[in-house]
Structure 1
Amino acid sequence: MEQHHREVTAPVPGEFVHRHDPADILPTGWTRSQENRYSVSARWPASHPFFSPAAEGRHDPVLVAETMRQATMLVAHAGFGVPVDDQFVMWDLYYTADPERLFLDGSSPEITADLFFPEYNGRPGRVRSLRVDIVLTRDGHRLSTGGGTIRCTSAPAYRRMRGERMAALDRPVPLIPAVAPHLVGREDAKDVVLGPGDRPDRWRLRVNTAHPTLFRRPNDHVPGMVLLEAARQAAMLATGSTGYLPTAVDLSFSRYAELDTPCWIEAEVVTAPGDPATTVRVTGQQEDLPVFVCTLSSPPREPAVAGPAAGSRPAR
């Protein structure tokens, strides 16, 4: 019979998920079933200052990506022994979520993330890279499937690699004007990560290093989750809909996004003929060099239903 190793973590240390505010810490514990298989329990907040409820009474689907990120960090530190001062670089992240499992109407806030690491480069305490496949479940039903790749670098090696760029840790970044918050589904300009551009389908990345969620600690480059949020907001602008619900995301990075250089975000609707989902391709560039590319898809909006059932959730 397979042995299960249970690690009691109540609460999960913030340094294990790279968050300092307890309200931002999603995992509640973890279990190891095999050397390369783990299960992470998590709890989704009904409300959050940044991951606020999305259209039609659903959880923000970007919580899927954040849960994947935190679960992977937790296992890397607690399971594989990666030192907490190591640097993680996200190279790609992808997921497909079931929009029916995102509803807030009485479903359990408890989420289970099952992680499988098909291969990892390194030894316990000194892992160099991790590729992970992740399945999220809720109420016993599959919520999403996805995965990603991260690279781990020791603090001394990272400082050598980044060189003079490390000076950006203490250098203030001018905060440029924001696009109107209501255009990107936000109420407060502090949560807007795009500024006006020079044409309708192009915006400048807005870097707010004081943001308590997006910049969880001092950083010498723009975190990957900021770029995912930029892609989501650009998709809203490109489609003209704040109801855009990114239930499928495929994000990859080619280099660091630097803090002190304008990063330009472009978006194009690329929905295939006959596809009911709306797909947008978003790219980021700095100094004419590619930084990231992100493809997002949103399911079709549900038509209004006449009669007493209007606004009710579809049967499950």
Structure 2
Amino acid sequence: MRQLVHRPDPQDVFPTGLTRLTDSQFSVPAHWPRSHRFFAPVAGRYQDPLLIAETMRQATMLIAHAEFGVPLGDAFVMWELRYTSESERLVLGEDPWDITVDVSCSRIQRRGRSLGAMHLELLLHRHGTVLASGGGRISCSSAGAYRRLRGHRGATLDARIPLLPAVAPRTVGRTSEEDVVLAPAAAPDTWALRLDTRHPTLFSHPNDHVPGILLLEAARQAAQAASPGRTFLPTSIQADFLQYVELDRPCWIEARPVPADGTSPDGVHIRAVQNDRPAFTCTLRTPDLRQTGLSDARSHRS
């Protein structure tokens, strides 16, 4: 299972099985820990919503390898990822966090006997109740094609990436500096992306570009920093991965507020800019948790 979800450490693996329902529909049981070294409880009360995104990513890779014949050495690109949930569905409670992910694949493009690209719709449920829904779009490249595309970046696999100074952990909803992925910058509501390639979860294996889950975490941390005095619980995310974010070039994370509309609470829009071009965009929305007395951003992580 670890190889199939690209996670070498068992504590970072969330799917526990896979069942084929039809040629394009699958069921993936998964387990979320009540406490994780990185995906830690929010405000001591809620499961980390980024577990939704990471479980979606792992379920997608599992299906691609096990059911669509993608060799283990091939490369994945996640172009789009979105999910929506509700805060009350993420309250920790006392029961184990055993969930089921229903996956429907569409617009499947084959590459020989393997997979070229596909869209996915995912439904996460627990105890008969929908926990979250979402979807995404991926493409796959053979190992050889990826080397031809990225061969000039192979040297960054072993390169020493300077570790920038971290912003204060509590301003981004973290308790430990080792989990902070933002560094101070001169412009308001702007930060430099901070990369610690020794991080056991964000860099669980050598990579020649910034992992997508790290970009999502940077978006969440920037949203929290741009929302002082409140706990930012990203119950909704819409992310677009526009190009590879390189490890050895500065990347700037920019935040601007997004007002509530008729169906969604307010949120924050994030851009990651590298070489003067947007490489990643993400809109995150949060419910107002101040009604529950969780207004102090310092309590974001227990």
TM-score tier, shorter chain, comes to over 0.9
SS in 2 for 1:228: helix
Q: What is the distance in 2 between the residues matched to 1:114 and 1:266?
A: 34
Q: What is the distance in 2 between the residues matched to 1:297 and 1:141?
A: 21
Counterpart residue number, 2:58? 70
1:164 aligns with 2:147: no
- 1:193 partner amino acid: V
Percent identity between the two aligned chains: 51
**Structure 1 residues 159, 108: CA separation in 2 closer, same or farther (over 3 Å shift)?**
same
Per-residue deviation, 1:179: 0.3
Determine which structure has more spread, i.e. the larger CA radius of gyration. Answer: 1
- Aligned partner (choices 87, 95, 116) of residue 128 of structure 1: 116
Per-residue deviation, 1:81: 1.5
Counterpart residue number, 1:287? 275
Counterpart residue number, 2:2? 14
Aligned positions, number: 293
- Aligned partner (choices 20, 35, 44) of residue 32 of structure 1: 20
Counterpart residue number, 1:83? 71
> Does the CA-based 8 Å contact 1:81-1:124 persist in structure 2?
no
TM superposition outliers: structure 1 runs of 4+ over 6 Å: 273-276
1:225 aligns with 2:213: yes
> Does the CA-based 8 Å contact 1:209-1:215 persist in structure 2?
yes
Per-residue deviation, 1:274: 7.1
**Structure 1 residues 169, 234: CA separation in 2 closer, same or farther (over 3 Å shift)?**
same
Q: What is the distance in 1 between the residues matched to 2:195 and 2:290?
A: 34
Per-residue deviation, 1:302: 5.0
After superposition, the C-alpha distances for 1:180-215 in whole angstroms (9 at most, x for unaligned) are: 111111111110000001122100000111111001
SS in 1 for 2:7: coil
1:96 aligns with 2:84: yes
Counterpart residue number, 2:99? 111
> Does the CA-based 8 Å contact 2:125-2:131 persist in structure 1?
yes
Q: What is the distance in 2 between the residues matched to 1:284 and 1:292?
A: 5
- 1:283 partner amino acid: R
**Structure 1 residues 110, 264: CA separation in 2 closer, same or farther (over 3 Å shift)?**
same
Task: Please give the residue correspondences for 1:257-296 in structure 2 after superposition, counting only pairs within 5 Å.
Answer: 257-272=245-260, 277-296=265-284
Counterpart residue number, 2:34? 46
For structure 1, the 5+ residue unaligned runs are: 1-12, 306-316
1:179 aligns with 2:182: no
SS in 1 for 2:185: strand
> Does the CA-based 8 Å contact 2:163-2:194 persist in structure 1?
yes
**Structure 1 residues 31, 46: CA separation in 2 closer, same or farther (over 3 Å shift)?**
same
Counterpart residue number, 1:300? 288
- 2:235 partner amino acid: T
Per-residue deviation, 1:18: 0.7
**Structure 1 residues 218, 155: CA separation in 2 closer, same or farther (over 3 Å shift)?**
same
How does the TM-score come out when normalised to structure 1? 0.89
SS in 1 for 2:226: helix
After superposition, the C-alpha distances for 1:246-294 in whole angstroms (9 at most, x for unaligned) are: 0000000111000000000000111136777221000010110110110
Counterpart residue number, 1:249? 237
The Cα RMSD (Å) is 1.5
Q: What is the distance in 1 between the residues matched to 2:102 and 2:227?
A: 34
Q: What is the distance in 2 between the residues matched to 1:24 and 1:273?
A: 36
> Does the CA-based 8 Å contact 2:230-2:289 persist in structure 1?
no
Q: What is the distance in 2 between the residues matched to 1:69 and 1:242?
A: 28
Counterpart residue number, 2:43? 55
For structure 2, the 5+ residue unaligned runs are: 294-302
Q: Which is further off, 194-203 or 33-42? A: 194-203
Q: What is the distance in 2 between the residues matched to 1:96 and 1:125?
A: 34
Q: What is the distance in 1 between the residues matched to 2:260 and 2:93?
A: 32
**Structure 1 residues 276, 126: CA separation in 2 closer, same or farther (over 3 Å shift)?**
closer
> Does the CA-based 8 Å contact 1:108-1:138 persist in structure 2?
no
**Structure 1 residues 248, 300: CA separation in 2 closer, same or farther (over 3 Å shift)?**
same
Per-residue deviation, 1:241: 4.2
**Structure 1 residues 56, 298: CA separation in 2 closer, same or farther (over 3 Å shift)?**
farther
